Structure 1
Amino acid sequence: MISAPMLDHIVYAVPDLERGVNDIERQVRVRPVSGGTHAGGLTHNALLSLGAGSYLEIIAPVPGSEAPTGALPFGLETLTEPRLVTWAVAVDDIERRIEAARLAGYDPGERMAGGRDLPDGSRLTWQLAVRAEPAGDGIVPFLIHWLSEPHPSGTAPEGCQFVALRAEHPKPESVLRVLRALAVELDVNEGAAPRLIATLETPSGRVELS
């Protein structure tokens, strides 16, 4: 089970952002706030602080947008139901973590620049390492190194707290090997299909997202 210090954020993908925000608000009784757009205006998100430097990102395609390649991050172009698709671990030295993982037998992807245009016109920037096809269908996290402030957990609506993150996979040991190479701890149990399950403490009680 992952604890808060290792978690940067969890990514909850939805086909429609407004409906996704309404659904999360119904479950946790706190309304996520608009975070802005990224991927060249192809995706947009809403955010909810989970305390301890972590947050929930709700991400969806921008209506009417179409990627030149036909593909959007996290498989959003084919998504039909809300799903917890992956999560991120914050690191101080992303190049060192990439090289260490490669030496341990797992390639987390090349370092890439990322950013998001905020509703107030400013821009938040970061570096990340993410594979085109995430290992374990998103159970293995991507790495992120923040280049600008403030961190989203400090500006998103408060009221919810991260409790735990766990996963299920038909072949859990294959995923655990990759997690060890990435120096990340996560409980992965056998299940019929790959699945992430996040437990949150909210004003409406404990809520699970998957």
Structure 2
Amino acid sequence: MSINTRTIDHIVHLTPPGTVDEVSDKFRELGFNVLPGGTHADGLTANALVVLKEGTYIELISFTHPASYYPPGTPERLKREAHRWANAPLGWIDYAFLGNGSLEPGHQISDAINSRASETGSDVVYLPEVGGGRVRPDGKVLKWVISAPKEGGREGEVGVLPFFCGDVTPRGLRVQTQPRSNTEHPSTALGLSHVRLLVPSALFEVTKKRLTSVLGVGPNTDITNTRAAWILDTALSPVSTGRPRLILDVPSDREEETFVDSKGGETGIYEVAFVVENLDSGYPEEATTPSGRIKFVRV
């Protein structure tokens, strides 16, 4: 089955419940234009967006309430506790690739990935697509379908393998690249440079194999015994400096080792980097978000 599963859609940044406005202000301080998002269909989370010229975006998300807000044993409490990000640490917690929005058997993203995994002997399993959506502040209703790795085992750890988001309503409603001013940032950020995952050396090869099953191709740049990278597609034309990369690395210093330890010895998103037009725009080349690392690079 020939389905593209390597188009980067967005990266998710989590902050404490009810803090979407606060984290939006922080990202504005870092030189980003932040757009209001809305509340998701389940009512559990709300978001804001940083949209880039090549169609990728950062999702700034928080739960609307802590789990304790919902009475024990109620359906709302159970939904909150079962949420994909219910137990995720703060910061860069997840990333999504663009799905095709299909619920037709045999044409779903999950079908394509599971077929590849079966052929290659990878243990990756993706669940069938399920519906999702949110309401924008202007009242427009957005709908999509999500497929995520099966929970249980390392392949289900959040932030290790991407989930997929496929639009049912037009993607332009979800990712507002128009008017052009939506994608213009004081930092001169143009697009995504890379998403960098860190993994302990003992899990490097198995994680590389799992990602290959998901993306449908092996790593195609920066291949060593401790690093592998995949060149990704974008929803719109890439910026002139080229396409973004997904990088899988083994920690190279104590700070990076501490990060992996904080993930329980598993993989996680360590850094997200952005291509900028001008490194002299008055913003730092490296910065810390609430619980996450970003980097600005000029290529």
Q: TM-score, normalised by structure 2?
A: 0.60
User: Aligned pair 1:114/2:132, yes or no?
Assistant: yes
**Residue from 93, 109, 116 that aligns with 1:85:** 93
User: Aligned pair 1:181/2:193, yes or no?
Assistant: no
Q: Matched residues in 2 for 1:174 and 1:162: separation?
A: 26
Deviations 1:99-136 (A, max 9, x none): 12112332121211110111011111111101363645
Are 1:45 and 1:59, in contact at CA under 8 Å, matched by a contact in 2? yes
Q: Matched residues in 2 for 1:118 and 1:131: separation?
A: 27
Deviations 1:89-108 (A, max 9, x none): 11336544311211233212
- Identify the residue that residue 42 of structure 1 maps to in structure 2: 44
Are 1:74 and 1:85, in contact at CA under 8 Å, matched by a contact in 2? no
Are 2:49 and 2:59, in contact at CA under 8 Å, matched by a contact in 1? yes
Q: 1:39 to 1:130 in 2, by over 3 A?
A: farther
Are 1:48 and 1:153, in contact at CA under 8 Å, matched by a contact in 2? no
User: Aligned pair 1:55/2:65, yes or no?
Assistant: no
AA in 1 matched with 2:113: A
Where in structure 2 are there 5+ consecutive unaligned residues?
Answer: 1-5, 71-75, 118-123, 217-229, 231-245, 252-256, 261-266, 294-299
Are 1:136 and 1:169, in contact at CA under 8 Å, matched by a contact in 2? no
- Identify the residue that residue 21 of structure 2 maps to in structure 1: 18
Moved over 3 A (4+): 63-67, 93-96, 131-137, 205-210
Q: Matched residues in 2 for 1:34 and 1:138: separation?
A: 24
- Identify the residue that residue 199 of structure 1 maps to in structure 2: 273
Larger Cα Rg: Structure 1 or Structure 2? 2
- Identify the residue that residue 296 of structure 2 maps to in structure 1: none
The structure with the greater share of residues assigned to strand is 1
The number of equivalent residue pairs is 203
Q: Matched residues in 2 for 1:206 and 1:50: separation?
A: 18
Q: CA deviation at 1:201?
A: 3.5
User: Aligned pair 1:75/2:82, yes or no?
Assistant: no
Q: 1:165 to 1:177 in 2, by over 3 A?
A: same
User: Aligned pair 1:141/2:162, yes or no?
Assistant: yes
Q: Matched residues in 2 for 1:85 and 1:60: separation?
A: 11
Are 1:166 and 1:188, in contact at CA under 8 Å, matched by a contact in 2? yes
Q: CA deviation at 1:41?
A: 1.2
Q: Matched residues in 1 for 2:20 and 2:82: separation?
A: 15
Q: CA deviation at 1:146?
A: 0.9
Q: TM-score, normalised by structure 1?
A: 0.83
Q: Matched residues in 2 for 1:137 and 1:130: separation?
A: 9
Q: Which has the higher contact order (CA 8 A, sep 6+)?
A: 1
- Identify the residue that residue 154 of structure 1 maps to in structure 2: 177
Cα-Cα RMSD: 2.6
Q: What SS does structure 1 have at the residue aligned with 2:149?
A: coil
Are 1:201 and 1:207, in contact at CA under 8 Å, matched by a contact in 2? no
Q: 1:172 to 1:135 in 2, by over 3 A?
A: farther
Q: What SS does structure 2 have at the residue aligned with 1:148?
A: coil
Deviations 1:182-201 (A, max 9, x none): 12533211133133121024
